[in-house]
C-alpha cells in the first residue's frame, strides 16, 4: 500500500516500520542501507581469472545463469527476466546490488520472512519473486552454480561487512510526492525507447533484449523491485543504461511510482484476499492493494 | 517562350530515358541504383549493388537494416546532427518521400550477416571482445551487445546491427560520437557511452565487431 509514503519521515534510511524489510540491501529487495559511495568499491576478480577446473566450470555456469536465466535455469523461471537485469554487469557492478556484497552478508535475518536466511534461501527468494518462478533446490546444479559464482566474485572480500556499493544507493525524499502523470512523462521520454510504450520490453530475434517492467512477463508483487523506493534507487543509480545518475531525484521517484502502479503477477504469498495480503506483506512503499484507474492492483 | 519551346524535345528525350522524371518521387530502387536526378547520386556506387557495403573502403552495409533507422539517418545527415562530407549533400538532395522510399528499399534487401545462426566469435578474451560482450560498467559503459542484441545484430529501430560492419566505419562512428560530429542518438546514449573509451579501446572494439559475422 502506498499511504506509508505519506506517513514516513525518513525515507531511504532504516526508519521503516517493524514489518518492513531491514536487511535486504543486496537485491532488488533492497531498501538500500548504504550511502552513495565515496571510496573505491571492492573490485571483483576479472572473468579471465576464473579457475580452470571443476569449480571453475560451476562459476562459469553461474555467470551464464545470471546473464541468461531463462536459457540456463529455465525450469525455475516464470517470466522474461534475467538476474542481470537488476544486478548489472552480471552481478559485478557496485550500487547495482552486486553479488559480492551480498555474499559476505549472509546468513542474515530478514524482515521479509522473519527468520535467518542462508545465501541459498536468499537466492531462492529471487527465483520465487523477482523471477516469478520456482526456487531451485539447494543441491541443484543451478543453485550451486550461482553460489559458486557469488563466492568467486567475493574472492578476498572481508566477510560480515557492509561493503561500499552494496544494494542500491539510498535516495533522499523528493520535493513533491511521486506522481503518476509526471512519472508517465518521464517514462515516455527516457524509458519507452527500450522498455516499450506499455512496459512490455523489447525482443530481437525472439530473445528478450530489454526486460518487461510490468505485466505477466515481469517480476511479481512479492519482488523487492515492486517497492517504489527500491525501484527509484535502482533507476536513479543505473538508468537509462549508460546514463546512470542522469535523471533528477524527482524524476526517479515519479517514474518508479508510475512503473509500479501497473498490474503484475500475483504475490505468491497471496491466499485469496488482496486486503489480507496487503496487510500482511505490503506495509511499505508500494501500490499493492491500491486502486489505480478504477481497478485494485493485485487482483490478477 | 520561344526559348522554352526549343527545349521540349530535349525534355522529352530526358523523360523517356530517365524513369525518375515521370513521378514526383521515384521509387526506392531507382534512387538506389541511379540517384534521384536532383543531386543525389546512386547509393550503390559506394554501398554496393545489393547494399552489402564495401569493407575495404569503410562504407557500411545498408541491406536489411530497419527502414526507420535508415530514414532517421538520412534525415540526420540532412539536418546536420550526423555530419559527413559525402552523405550530407546527398541526403540534402533527397525529398522526404525519396528518403522513405530508399529506406524501404534497402531495408527489404537480404543480408547474410543478419541471418542464420551467429558466427562463432573470433575471439572472446581480447580487449575488443570484452567491451562488446561484457562492457566496462564501472566507467558507465554497458556491453555493445547489451543494447544492440545478444549477437550484435541490432534491435530495430533504434539500435542498428553492429557486427560485420567495416572496421573503419565502426571506428569512425565511435569517434564521431566522441567529437560530437554525430549527435543523432536517441537520449544521447551513444555519446554518453563513448565518453570514457580510449582510442585503443575504440580500435579494439571496432576490430572485434567487424570480424564477428565473417563466415
pLDDT at residue A38 in the model: 56
Q: Integer distance in angstroms from the first to the last C-alpha of chain A?
A: 16
Do residues B92 and B124 share a domain? Answer: no
pLDDT at residue A41 in the model: 73
Q: Does A244 touch chain B (CB under 8 A)?
A: yes
User: How far is the CA of A186 from the CAs of A5, A227, A261, in angstroms?
Assistant: 20, 18, 14
pLDDT bin (cut points 50, 70, 90) of residue B118 is: low
Do residues A54 and A9 share a domain? Answer: no
Q: Does A71 touch chain B (CB under 8 A)?
A: no
The answer to whether residue A34 scores a pLDDT higher than 90 is no
> Nearest C-alpha of chain A: how many angstroms from B153?
9
The answer to whether residue A129 scores a pLDDT higher than 50 is yes
Do residues A56 and A111 share a domain? Answer: yes
Substitution target from A242, A243, A244, A251 for chain B, most B beta carbons within 10 A: A242
The answer to whether residue B13 scores a pLDDT higher than 90 is no
Boundary (domain end) residue, out of A94, A127, A153:
A153
Do residues A134 and A109 share a domain? Answer: yes
For the segment B53-77, what is each residue's pLDDT rounded down to a tens digit? 999 999 999 999 999 999 999 999 9
Boundary (domain end) residue, out of B67, B84, B109:
B109
Do residues A242 and A180 share a domain? Answer: yes
Chain A residue with minimal CA distance to B115?
A205
The three cell numbers locating residue B197: 573509451
pLDDT bin (cut points 50, 70, 90) of residue A114 is: very high
Q: Do B155 and A202 touch (CB under 8 A)?
A: yes
Considering only CB atoms, which residues of chain B are within 8 Å of chain A?
125, 130, 134-135, 137-138, 140-142, 146-147, 149-151, 153-156, 158, 186-189, 192-193
Is B178 inside a domain boundary? yes
Looking at the structure of chain B, the number of domains it has is 2
Boundary (domain end) residue, out of A153, A185, A207:
A153
Kindly report the CATH number assigned to the domain that includes residue B186: 1.10.760.10
Is B77 inside a domain boundary? yes
Looking at the structure of chain A, the number of domains it has is 2
- Can you tell me whether residue A20 is helix, strand or coil? coil
Chain A residue with minimal CA distance to B159?
A194
Is B1 inside a domain boundary? no
Structural domain boundaries enclosing B167: 120-211
Q: Complex ipTM above 0.90?
A: no
Structural domain boundaries enclosing A137: 47-153
Between chain A and chain B, the number of residue pairs with CB atoms below 8 A apart is: 58
Do residues A74 and A141 share a domain? Answer: yes
Higher pLDDT, B15 or A156: A156
Chain A residue with minimal CA distance to B135?
A89
The answer to whether residue A65 scores a pLDDT higher than 60 is yes
The answer to whether residue A12 scores a pLDDT higher than 60 is no
Kindly report the CATH number assigned to the domain that includes residue A114: 1.10.760.10
User: How far is the CA of B195 from the CAs of A241, B80, B84, in angstroms?
Assistant: 14, 21, 21
Do residues A145 and A174 share a domain? Answer: no
Q: Across chain B, what does the average pLDDT equal?
A: 88
The answer to whether residue B35 scores a pLDDT higher than 70 is yes
User: How far is the CA of B33 from the CAs of A174, A221, B105, in angstroms?
Assistant: 57, 56, 11
d(CA A126, CA A116): 16
Do residues A140 and A222 share a domain? Answer: no
- CA gyration radius, chain A: 18
Nearest Cα to Cα of residue A139 among A120, A125, A167, A152: A120
> Nearest C-alpha of chain A: how many angstroms from B215?
19
Boundary (domain end) residue, out of B109, B143, B161:
B109
pLDDT at residue A27 in the model: 47
Do residues B128 and B101 share a domain? Answer: no
Q: Across chain A, what does the average pLDDT equal?
A: 90
Residues of B in contact with A188 (CB under 8 A): none
Q: Does A56 touch chain B (CB under 8 A)?
A: no
User: How far is the CA of B45 from the CAs of B52, B91, B107, in angstroms?
Assistant: 11, 15, 17
> Nearest C-alpha of chain B: how many angstroms from A237?
11
Do residues A186 and A149 share a domain? Answer: no
Is B16 inside a domain boundary? no
pLDDT bin (cut points 50, 70, 90) of residue A238 is: very high
Boundary (domain end) residue, out of B89, B109, B129:
B109
Amino acid at each position: 500500500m502506498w499511504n506509508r509514503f505519506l506517513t514516513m519521515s525518513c525515507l531511504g534510511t532504516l526508519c521503516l516500520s517493524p514489518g518492513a524489510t531491514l536487511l535486504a540491501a543486496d537485491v532488488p529487495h533492497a531498501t538500500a542501507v548504504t550511502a552513495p559511495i565515496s571510496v573505491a568499491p571492492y573490485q571483483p576478480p576479472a572473468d579471465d581469472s576464473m579457475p580452470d577446473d571443476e569449480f571453475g566450470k560451476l562459476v562459469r555456469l553461474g555467470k551464464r545463469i545470471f546473464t541468461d536465466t531463462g536459457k540456463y535455469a529455465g525450469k525455475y523461471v516464470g517470466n522474461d527476466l534475467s538476474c542481470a537485469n537488476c544486478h548489472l554487469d552480471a552481478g559485478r557492478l557496485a550500487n547495482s546490488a552486486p553479488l559480492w556484497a551480498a555474499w559476505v552478508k549472509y546468513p542474515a535475518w530478514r524482515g521479509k520472512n522473519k527468520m535467518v536466511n542462508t545465501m541459498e534461501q536468499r537466492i531462492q527468494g529471487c527465483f520465487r519473486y523477482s523471477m516469478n518462478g520456482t526456487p531451485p533446490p539447494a543441491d541443484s546444479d543451478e543453485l550451486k552454480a550461482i553460489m559458486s559464482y557469488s563466492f568467486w566474485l567475493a574472492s578476498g572480500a572481508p566477510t560480515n561487512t557492509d561493503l561500499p556499493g552494496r544494494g542500491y544507493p539510498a535516495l533522499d525524499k523528493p520535493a513533491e510526492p511521486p506522481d503518476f502523470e509526471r512519472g508517465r512523462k518521464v517514462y515516455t521520454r527516457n524509458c519507452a525507447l527500450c522498455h516499450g510504450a506499455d512496459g512490455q520490453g523489447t525482443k530481437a530475434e525472439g530473445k528478450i533484449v530489454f526486460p518487461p517492467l510490468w505485466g505477466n512477463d515481469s517480476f511479481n508483487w512479492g519482488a523487492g523491485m515492486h517497492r517504489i523506493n527500491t525501484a527509484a534507487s535502482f533507476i536513479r543509480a543505473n538508468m537509462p543504461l549508460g546514463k546512470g545518475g542522469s535523471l533528477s531525484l524527482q524524476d526517479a521517484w515519479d517514474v518508479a511510482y508510475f512503473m509500479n502502479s501497473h498490474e503484475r503477477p500475483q504475490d505468491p504469498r497471496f491466499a485469496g484476499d488482496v486486503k489480507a495480503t496487503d496487510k500482511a506483506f505490503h506495509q511499505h512503499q508500494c501500490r499493492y492493494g491500491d486502486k489505480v484507474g478504477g481497478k485494485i492492483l493485485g487482483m490478477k | 517562350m520561344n526559348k522554352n519551346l526549343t527545349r521540349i524535345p530535349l525534355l522529352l528525350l530526358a523523360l523517356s530515358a530517365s524513369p525518375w522524371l515521370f513521378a514526383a518521387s521515384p521509387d526506392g530502387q531507382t534512387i538506389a541504383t541511379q540517384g534521384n536526378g536532383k543531386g543525389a547520386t546512386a547509393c550503390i556506387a559506394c554501398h554496393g549493388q545489393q547494399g552489402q557495403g564495401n569493407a575495404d573502403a569503410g562504407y557500411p552495409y545498408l541491406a536489411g537494416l530497419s527502414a526507420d533507422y535508415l530514414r532517421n539517418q538520412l534525415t540526420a545527415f540532412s539536418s546536420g546532427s550526423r555530419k559527413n562530407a559525402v552523405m550530407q549533400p546527398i541526403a540534402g538532395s533527397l525529398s522526404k518521400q525519396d528518403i522513405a522510399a530508399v529506406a524501404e528499399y534497402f531495408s527489404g534487401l537480404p543480408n547474410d550477416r543478419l541471418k542464420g545462426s551467429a558466427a562463432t566469435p573470433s575471439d572472446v578474451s581480447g580487449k575488443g571482445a570484452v567491451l562488446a560482450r561484457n562492457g566496462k560498467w564501472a566507467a558507465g559503459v554497458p556491453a555493445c551487445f547489451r543494447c544492440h542484441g545478444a549477437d550484435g545484430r541490432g534491435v530495430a529501430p533504434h539500435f542498428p546491427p553492429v557486427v560485420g560492419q567495416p572496421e573503419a566505419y565502426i571506428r569512425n562512428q565511435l569517434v564521431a560520437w566522441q567529437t560530437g560530429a554525430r549527435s543523432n542518438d536517441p537520449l544521447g546514449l551513444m555519446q554518453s557511452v563513448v565518453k570514457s573509451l580510449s582510442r585503443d579501446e575504440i580500435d579494439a572494439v571496432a576490430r572485434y565487431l567487424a570480424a564477428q559475422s565473417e563466415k
